[in-house]
Amino acid sequence: MMIAPSLLSADFANLGKEVSAITEAGADLIHFDVMDGHFVPNITFGPMILAAIRKYTALPFEAHLMISHPQKYWKQFSDSGADIIGFHIEADVKHTELVDKIHKAGRKVCIVVNPPTDIKTIEKLLPDVDIVLVMTVNPGFGGQKFISSNLKKIEWLDQQRKTKNFKFLIEVDGGINYETAPLVKRAGADIIVAGSFIFGSKNYAETIKNLRCCK
Ligand code: DX5
Ligand code: ZN
């Protein structure tokens, strides 16, 4: 199980230090939540902040773009050092075209699915994406409650890749803690994003280790 701490719950006044701390604590990748106040009802940070904190870790950065026009902005995140670009199936874009463009830039692609959205809407993208991210809260804020009806999406994805030999990883974002991590692991998840649970804990290394080993 890989652990991706979400900087949304980090101390924004000390972001560089937080990135270093989470790296030393054993994180596998850094999850960077980008919100535009339009696709979701909140605003966070953009590519300049990513570029500024990039040098504090050698770990991969994943930009989770909760924005209405990922086709206009993904390149700026790529140029700022995002190794993985995540965009939503709910965004009004030509998804296949965007997947190709991101791949041509040498970056990995993550397709994200919101809780109310049918998982089958991404079926045609499954052979081409590197990661499928299942949202287990409605995006916009950290610290929300896990919506367990999404577990069956993870099971379906795991089934699809087993039967059709797809290579994508399954990632889960929202409401992850010691109770929910084992549920998503059992359903087939490979990567868990955790924001408030890690950054709200006293000992990041301990929390990451325990999340990783949840049975
Ligand atoms: C929510 C973000 C998440 C958020 C998760 O819109 O996409 O990455 O940071 O926060 P927790 O882990 O607190 O639910
Ligand atoms: Zn996220």
Query: Tens digits of per-residue pLDDT, 87-99?
Result: 999 999 999 999 9
Query: Tens digits of per-residue pLDDT, 37-50?
Result: 999 999 999 999 99
Query: Tens digits of per-residue pLDDT, 109-132?
Result: 999 999 999 999 999 999 999 999
pLDDT value of position 213: 86
Strand order in the sheet with 191-194: 2-5, 191-194, 169-173, 131-135, 108-113, 84-88, 61-66, 30-35
Ligand 2 (single-atom ion) residues, CB below 5 Å: 33, 64, 173
CA 185 to chain CA centroid, Å, is 15
Nearest to 61 by CA among 23, 30, 100: 30
**Angstrom distance (rounded) from CA 7 to CA 76:** 19
Average pLDDT over residues 10-32: 98
Q: Where are the domains of the chain?
A: 2-212
- The values of phi and psi at residue 54, to 5°, are -55, -35
Cβ contacts of 100-107, under 8 Å, gap ≥ 24: 101/71, 101/74, 102/74, 102/78, 103/128, 105/75, 105/78, 107/78, 107/82, 107/83
Residue nearest to atom 7 of ligand 1 (CA): 139
What atom in ligand 1 is closest to the CA of residue 40? 6
pLDDT value of position 215: 65
Torsion, Cα of 83, 88, 89, 90 (10° steps): -160
- The answer to whether 121 and 89 have CB atoms below 8 angstroms apart is yes
Give the distance (Å) from ligand 2 centre to CA of residue 139.
7
Place 214 in a pLDDT band, splitting at 50, 70 and 90: confident
Average pLDDT over residues 13-40: 98
pLDDT value of position 165: 96
- The answer to whether 8 and 64 have CB atoms below 8 angstroms apart is no
Say which residue the tokens 């902005």 belong to.
73
Tokens of 30: 């850094």
CATH number corresponding to 2-212: 3.20.20.70
**Angstrom distance (rounded) from CA 213 to CA 194:** 14
Tokens of 48: 């300049």
Average pLDDT over residues 185-212: 98
Query: Tens digits of per-residue pLDDT, 132-143?
Result: 999 999 999 999
What atom in ligand 1 is closest to the CA of residue 195? 12
What atom in ligand 1 is closest to the CA of residue 42? 6
Ligand 1 pocket (Cβ < 6 Å) reads 6, 8-9, 31, 33, 64, 137, 139-140, 142-144, 173-176, 193-197
Give the distance (Å) from ligand 1 centre to CA of residue 82.
18
pLDDT > 90: percent of the chain: 99
Average pLDDT over residues 162-173: 98
